[in-house]
Amino acid sequence: EDQVTQSPEALRLQEGESSSLNCSYTVSGLRGLFWYRQDPGKGPEFLFTLYSAGEEKEKERLKATLTKKESFLHITAPKPEDSATYLCAVQRHSHDKIIFGKGTRLHILP
Amino acid sequence: DVKVTQSSRYLVKRTGEKVFLECVQDMDHENMFWYRQDPGLGLRLIYFSYDVKMKEKGDIPEGYSVSREKKERFSLILESASTNQTSMYLCASTVSRYQPQHFGDGTRLSIL
């Protein structure tokens, strides 16, 4: 069965303290892996798509990487405005359904 | 930028009522989706549509139906609302099935 597991469930960091969020997946034939950011009371906002192992994407303080089993969202020198829930989702070749992880709640303390 | 608009941010209804949640997108997207999001359960797909008049069941369609009379509008209907349908409902759209989905800001629905 296809699965997406995100860890940790919650993470508290001091402003400027870099860290990584993990997304482990088991899916037959990955078509794409998506990262989203969700602020409280709002819908998910698309960040990145990764298609193949070794691929990396960057946006401001965020960098997403992909291996054959997992993806990392690296946050460098985070600021309080980076506080949000980060969602990972996967889609496989033989099916267009997207499977979401349960997210990591990130809190950056000033 | 893609704009997905959900008609209500907050809604309170009573058990047994028929409830309509509306979603409109302005980017001429073919594909539209309805999810519900609950703490500890993540996003779960209720229904989706790849074309006008077309609909497909997702993972948890029981107690729901949908309507897509126009390309830009996708409605979720709770036929007879129950308390276990209290949730955050999210609408999404995408230009193709293999592109990332773009979400609205959600409707937080409470069934009393």
Can you list the residues of chain A whose pLDDT is less than 70? none
Q: Alpha-carbon distance A21 to A73, whole Å?
A: 5
**pLDDT tens sequence across B72-84:** 999 999 999 999 9
Contact A32 B4 (CB under 8 A): no
Judging by DSSP bridges, how do beta strands B42-49 and B56-57 pair with one another? Answer: antiparallel
Cα of A57 to nearest chain B Cα, Å: 15
Mutate which of A94, A97, A104 to disrupt the B interface (most B C-beta within 10 Å)?
A: A97
**Chain A residues in contact with chain B using a Cβ-Cβ cutoff of 8 Å:** 31-32, 34, 36, 41-46, 49, 87, 91, 96-98, 100-103
Phi–psi pair at B16, nearest 5 degrees? 90, -15
Asked if residue B11 lies in contact with residue B107, where contact means CB atoms within 8 angstroms, the answer is yes
Beta carbon pairs, A and B, within 8 Å = 42
Q: Alpha-carbon distance B87 to A14, whole Å?
A: 32
Q: Which two tokens stand for residue B41?
A: 């359960």
Contact B101 A102 (CB under 8 A): no
Contact A45 B106 (CB under 8 A): no
**pLDDT tens sequence across B4-29:** 999 899 999 999 999 999 999 998 99
Residue B112: its pLDDT value, please? Answer: 97
Residue A1: its pLDDT value, please? Answer: 81
Cβ of residue B40 closer than 8 Å to a chain A Cβ: yes
Those residues whose C-beta lies under 8 Å from the C-beta of residue B106, and which sit 6 or more positions away, are A41, A42, A43, B6, B9, B37, B88, B89, B90, B91
Residue A28: its pLDDT value, please? Answer: 83
Q: What angle do CA B73, B14, B64 make, to 5 degrees?
A: 40
**Read out DSSP for chain A?**
--EEEEE-SEEEEETT--EEEEEEEE-SSEEEEEEEEE-TTS--EEEEEE-STT-EEEETTEEEEE-SSEEEEEE-S--GGG-EEEEEEEEETT---EEE---EEEEEE-
**pLDDT tens sequence across B15-67:** 999 999 999 999 899 999 999 999 989 999 999 999 998 899 999 999 999 99
Cα of A47 to nearest chain B Cα, Å: 9
A-chain residues near B102 (CB < 8 A): 46
Taking CA–CA distances from B9, the nearest residue in chain A reads A41
Asked if residue A26 lies in contact with residue A109, where contact means CB atoms within 8 angstroms, the answer is no
